[in-house]
Amino acid sequence: MASPTSIHSPSTAVAGILGVESPTVVVVLLSLVISLLMVVVFRYTSDQKAIRVAKDHLKAYLLAVRLFQDQLPVVLSSYGRILISTGRYLRLAFKPLLFVILPLTLLIVQLDRYLGWTPLVPGRAFLVKVRTGNVVILDDVSLLLPPEMAITAPAVHVPADNEVLWRVVAEKEGRYNITVAAAGQDFSKEVVVSSSRLLRVSSIRLQGRFWERMFTSGEPAIPAKGPIRAVEVKYPSRNIRFAGLEWNWIWLFFVLSLVAGFFFKTVLKIEI
């Protein structure tokens, strides 16, 4: 069995993102940088004059509704123009989003490998779950571990879901490969054990399902004709404490980016 890879090796891990180890600091810095970049991109990919005119028209029609509340024809006409102006504004604002939505989505997917989950802790049990293609081979599935790991409870079979689960514990830190054996074939899965707060982890390895793998897995696909559909390690999910609340990092990132974006657009005098 191969020995664990050092978690401090630059070829297998990073010490942190942006040179820091605090997840809260990372999310705050990323929010500031990305919101600034998005505001600048919006500035140079949008028709600022047309957006300004569309917003002025909206304000004028809203004002007309308030000033002429007792004149039904004017109110109805203003509401109609509000809808038209809103559509025009959204069309103008949508174009810049096309330039940022794909890169931003890919960035979030990659960042979630670091910020969405925490590495496993030495001495603390975790679950390994394997899903097979059918229930027939469920009893033939076995889990092979490196010497630094041990199974602490008998395997639990769930025939209704074609799943088998093991409770495992690791004695020391490292990047390990565990092996699932079934129908004469072996399938590996990486396991990260560390007290470090920012390491790249992938919770699941999947067979096929390109788009699902794109968003949820950071490992190569399981061979298509194999009996194993998925191998999953139950990493602890990460919550970030900020402003007295527990946040999922993506929610915190979007809230901070929104606030910072409005600040930057005001300072830079950019119409959004």
In this structure, the dihedral spanned by the alpha carbons of residues 223, 225, 228 and 234, taken in order and rounded to 10 degrees, is 30
pLDDT at 15: 41
Tell me the HSE value of 207 on the side-chain side, using a 13 A CA sphere. Answer: 16
Classify 220 as helix, strand or coil.
coil
Question: What range defines the domain where residue 165 resides?
Answer: 126-233
pLDDT at 144: 96
53 vs 33, 34, 169, CA distance in Å?
A: 29, 27, 63
Same domain for 93 and 131, yes or no, is no
Token pair recorded at residue 197: 């707060």
Residue 184 within any structural domain of the chain = yes
d(C-alpha 176, C-alpha 170), whole Å? 10
pLDDT at 29: 93
149 vs 121, 168, 169, 172, 228, CA distance in Å?
A: 12, 7, 6, 8, 22
pLDDT at 192: 96
Residue 272 within any structural domain of the chain = no
Single pTM value for the model: 0.78
Percentage with pLDDT > 70 across the chain: 92
pLDDT at 12: 38
pLDDT at 272: 76
Residue 53 within any structural domain of the chain = yes
Residues of the chain with pLDDT under 50: 2, 8-18
Q: How many domains does the chain have?
A: 2
pLDDT at 211: 85
pLDDT at 5: 60
Same domain for 54 and 91, yes or no, is yes
Residue 111 within any structural domain of the chain = yes
Same domain for 131 and 222, yes or no, is yes
Residue 203 within any structural domain of the chain = yes
